[in-house]
Amino acid sequence: MTHTIVWEPDVVDLAVRFLDDDPDGLRAVFGSVDALGSDPRPAAAFPLGTTGLYRLRIGRYRVVYDLDEAAATIKIRHLGRRA
């Protein structure tokens, strides 16, 4: 089953800000998030308790997403970057 990926507007704004100084890093983030559509729980994803939220590390970036199996939707909630 393929899941639909929905980006929160504030997360898109963050990605645009990061894009200016790290286009390769953001390319990796977008590629990994796109792959979540077919594999919503990759080995690198870490469940955050029983909330349905997962954290995915992609290089220096962290993506927090909400997995809704019933609706086959993945909602990207947060994008962070380590220095």
What pLDDT shows up at residue 46? Answer: 94
Q: What separation in angstroms does the CA of 13 have from each of 8, 10, 41, 44?
A: 9, 5, 25, 25
The pLDDT tens digits for 25-34 are: 999 999 999 9
> In the prediction, which pLDDT does 1 show?
74
- pTM of the model as a whole: 0.91
State pLDDT tens for residues 4-59: 999 999 999 999 999 989 999 999 999 999 999 999 999 999 999 888 899 999 99
Angle at 18 between CA 25 and CA 64, to 5 degrees: 75
| Topology (CATH level 3) of domain 4-81 | YaeB-like fold (3.30.2310)
